Amino acid sequence: MAHRKRILGALGVAAVGVLALGLAGCASGDSGSDSGSGGDEMTTVGFVAVGPEGAWRQANEQNVQDTFTEAAGFDLKYAPATNLDQKSQIDAFTSFVDEGVDVILLSATEASGWEDSLKRAQEAEIPVILLDRGIEPNDTSLYVTRIAPDNVEVAKEVGEWAKAEFPDGGNYVVLEGPAGVGVVNERNKGFDEGVAGSSLNLVDAQTANWSAEEGKSVMETMLKANNNDIQFVFAQNDEMGLGAAQAVEEAGLTPGVDVKIATIDGTKAAMEALADGTLSYVHEYNPLFGPTALEVVEKTLAGETVESYIIVPSEAFDSPEAAQAVLADRKY
């Protein structure tokens, strides 16, 4: 069955580096640590991470680790989830609170179920900064800020491109990430806004769990169920889109010609596929926001205020030429 939940966050919108809205109760407490750029003490950062989940996640978490180094004055404690299990994340989060780290970075595997953990950190006066994924319900009093590209806007741009690309309509399918993840809900919301008023016809939407293998399998099923009568695929990440392209080709169709495929993330593999015409549209979801997180940590521990949502700028690529222009310098 298609997963089409619509859960709206109440996040504010701000440009990167614009730091204005404060959060009460999120000071560094009595740790006595200096910020990462000064003093003799190391700033201890607990990173509750997602762990292995594809090229985008690897680039994102490596960028954070490369930013919060000992040379920069930080002791980063990296705690990836066990098999994407939320309980392992909550256990790591609790351990960081008990340990009394200076700040916690949280990339949640699931959107809900974080209230008790966040309240515990708040009581311990340990500020929490969300990286990439938001939480639901979105209680901004429980964390300092969320740092991420704007999923709704990114997916909306994909939808607007599809609407313009198919003025006479066509059948389309959606390959979604795991049910219950806030990113999935945001990307569904944005894409639906982008294609609103078009003649495109949604024939199926299913999760493929961010996986190329599952993307291929799910797309094979969708093609068979619709007698290959599918003209467009919106894949919520690159891996699923690349898997879908394999299924399209094995069905005797030509990706990029008979079936256009749009993806989100902008990994090097996707940009190469766009350059050779296999994919038709790729919207970057910039993973390299470790330096922004470092700036926020330093400002927070210094008692300064920050905006409740810091948006990481991301580009869209709609042609082989656009992909070729950036491939040489692609870092992920």
DSSP H or E run through 204? strand 200-207
> What stretch(es) of the chain map to CATH 3.40.50.2300?
43-148+287-311, 151-285+317-327
d(CA 182, CA 112): 8
d(CA 207, CA 225): 16
Residue 300 has pLDDT above 90, yes or no: yes
Across the chain, what does the average pLDDT equal? 89
Residue 4 has pLDDT above 60, yes or no: no
d(CA 271, CA 158): 15
d(CA 264, CA 268): 12
* Mean pLDDT of the 257-274 span: 97
Contact 74, 68 (CB under 8 A): yes
pLDDT tens across 133-177, in order? 999 889 999 999 999 999 999 999 999 999 999 999 999 999 999
Instruction: State pTM to two decimals.
Output: 0.82
Q: Which residues are CB-contacts of 116 (< 8 A; sequence separation ≥ 6)? A: none
Residue 24 has pLDDT above 90, yes or no: no
d(CA 21, CA 68): 24
pLDDT band for position 40 (50/70/90)? Answer: low
Ranges of H-type helices in the chain: 55-67, 86-99, 115-123, 151-165, 182-195, 212-225, 238-250, 268-275, 290-301, 320-327
DSSP helix, strand, coil percent of the chain (3-state; round to 5): 35, 20, 45
CATH code reported for the domain at 43-148+287-311: 3.40.50.2300
pLDDT tens across 268-298, in order? 999 999 999 999 999 999 999 999 999 999 9
pLDDT of residue 279: 98
Q: Percent of the chain scored above 70 by pLDDT?
A: 88
Contact 282, 56 (CB under 8 A): no
d(CA 67, CA 76): 10
Q: What is the dihedral of CA 206, 212, 214, 218, to 10 degrees?
A: 50
d(CA 105, CA 108): 10
CATH code reported for the domain at 151-285+317-327: 3.40.50.2300
pLDDT tens across 105-141, in order? 999 998 899 999 999 999 999 999 999 999 988 999 9
Contact 112, 89 (CB under 8 A): no
For residue 193, which amino acid is it?
E
Bridge-based pairing of strands 316-317 and 281-284 is antiparallel
Residue 98 has pLDDT above 50, yes or no: yes
Q: Which of 244, 232, 236, 237 is nearest to 201 (CA)?
A: 232
pLDDT tens across 220-229, in order? 999 999 999 9
d(CA 319, CA 275): 7
d(CA 77, CA 65): 9
d(CA 286, CA 56): 9
